Amino acid sequence: MAAARSFGPEREAEPAKEARVVGSELVDTYTVYIIQVTDGNHEWTVKHRYSDFHDLHEKLVAERKIDKNLLPPKKIIGKNSRSLVEKREKDLEVYLQKLLAAFPGMTPRVLAHFLHFHFYEINGITAALAEELFEKGEQLLGAGEVFAIGPLQLYAVTEQLQQGKPTCASGDAKTDLGHILDFTCRLKYLKVSGTEGPFGTSNIQEQLLPFDLSIFKSLHQVEISHCDAKHVRGLVSSKPTLGTLSVRFSATSMKEVLVPEASEFDEWEPEGTALEGPVTAVIPTWQALTTLDLSHNSISEIDESVKLIPKIEFLDLSHNGLLVVDNLQHLYNLVHLDLSYNKLSSMEGLHTKLGNIKTLNLAGNLLESLSGLHKLYSLVTLDLRDNRVEQMEEVRSIGSLPCLEHVFLLNNPLSIIPDYRTKVLAQFGERASEVCLDDTVTTEKELDTVEVLKAIQKAKEVKSKLSNPEKKGGEDSRLSAVPCVRPSSSPPTVVPTSASLPQPILSNQGILGDE
């Protein structure tokens, strides 16, 4: 695995580049030579036939006046014989080594492309990116589209800036680093996607490379995937403008993303809070962030870093390793929460942390009881698929929720009970017709059956009251209509139920959509 060069002024001098011909292979009727290029700890392979070498040589003779006899001559008869190929491998390697030695500073463009520097080598990568943005940058900014870039490209730009060289060392104005910096200052929508395993034909583990995002000054939306969050620097510089953030397949904690500087301080508090006790740092909040997707990571807890995202409305923590729900009481504006496919086994006291929640996804957890959901009075959509709910009695906990319209219970043990749908709908009493179960509209036949079940239930309760006259009435309140109310300490007020919910899709790019 290739280790990345370190950030900072103590970085070692740039190592010399090497190129070796390590083998060949016969493709159809011609031989392809396999070249291994080494640049410090980074290695990659390039394949070329002899005619490619010949074309390279012709251009270098014309442009750089190199010795035209430097390249081994063509041979028509027996050109694919093993002895000739082996000799040519050695000769071509000597040729490449002489070229690299002849141009120790800035490799000629034609040679750099021949050796794929524009894919794998820092100077080549930044030059190619600068030229692309010189030609298309204004068009991309004007269209307002998401700009996709790889960690290796960002690593290369970061390294170039660290080196402190002239922004246009090659003399070609199109490859000036300034084109990149001008573009990144104005870009609003960014996507950084790494690759799993080695990048291309190299040994470069792109997802482990460090890079700095502080060159971006106007970001509104960022998606990062398959990177190491611990090596992503400068994201916090976008706090004033960033409204939507997605970090997937990259993080082991929320702190890594939201407060990377926390590791430097013993105690910290968000800006604007009343300070109590010893505090070594006051951290600015993400004042514009309303949508956060941290799904598909290895996050095991909802830590105190959520204090820094007070304006969050959409939060996706699905496909992580959460065991409990903590700290969400700090998110007063949270409306849509996805905790699906974690390891949650209890929802007790959830209403104290999720006062205004409208959409709650708990699918794919370890829930057997629903008792902790009975006071989520604003809840409109609840997904409980793929859990361990066995008893129909558990549904009573959500049956009295006044605004609940969409419920999903498939793939729980209770979903195989005979007449499962009507028995669940009966738990909603007079609101049964307003509830959509498992994305299927309730039929008139089902409502008739619900009425029968309700009548049977009422008869049982009357009989129970007659048998126990000391019991107070009103136990069937769950079967009566309840106005939809907003949770507050003041007396409840009636508000209209929501016919449809906004989905947490972020813009016309939809970066939080399903993969």
Instruction: Please say if the pLDDT value at position 506 is more than 70.
Output: no
Q: Distance between CA atoms of 505 and 164, rounded to whole angstroms? A: 40
Structure tokens at 30: 């011609």
Segment 248-259, tens digit of pLDDT:
999 999 999 999
Residue 469: pLDDT band by 50, 70, 90 thresholds?
low
Instruction: Please say if the pLDDT value at position 261 is more than 50.
Output: yes
Q: What is the average pLDDT across 218-247?
A: 96
Contact 175, 112 (CB under 8 A): no
Segment 73-92, tens digit of pLDDT:
876 555 667 888 889 999 99
DSSP letters, 112-144, are HHHTTHHHHSHHHHHHHHHHHHHHHHHHHHHHT
Pairing of strands 147-149, 244-248: unpaired
pLDDT at 166: 59
Q: Distance between CA atoms of 457 and 467, rounded to whole angstroms? A: 15
The total number of residues written for the chain in this structure: 515
pTM of the model: 0.84
Mean pLDDT rounded to a whole number for the chain: 86
Provide, rounded to the nearest whole percent, the portion of the chain with pLDDT above 70: 83
Pick the CATH number of 18-115 from 3.40.50.12780, 3.30.1520.10, 3.40.50.1220, 3.40.50.720: 3.30.1520.10
Instruction: Please say if the pLDDT value at position 13 is more than 70.
Output: no
Q: What is the average pLDDT across 439-461?
A: 84
Q: Which helix (H) or strand (E) holds 37?
A: strand 30-39
pLDDT at 128: 94
Q: What is the average pLDDT across 411-415?
A: 96
With H, G, I as helix, E, B as strand and everything else as coil, classify residue 282: strand
Q: Which helix (H) or strand (E) holds 98?
A: helix 82-102
Q: Distance between CA atoms of 282 and 261, rounded to whole angstroms? A: 11
pLDDT at 484: 57
Segment 105-154, tens digit of pLDDT:
788 999 999 999 999 999 999 999 999 999 999 999 999 999 999 999 99
Q: Quick count: other Cβ atoms within 10 Å of Cβ 392? A: 14
Sketch the domain layout of the chain as residue ranges.
18-115, 118-238
In one-letter notation, the amino acid at residue 442 is: T
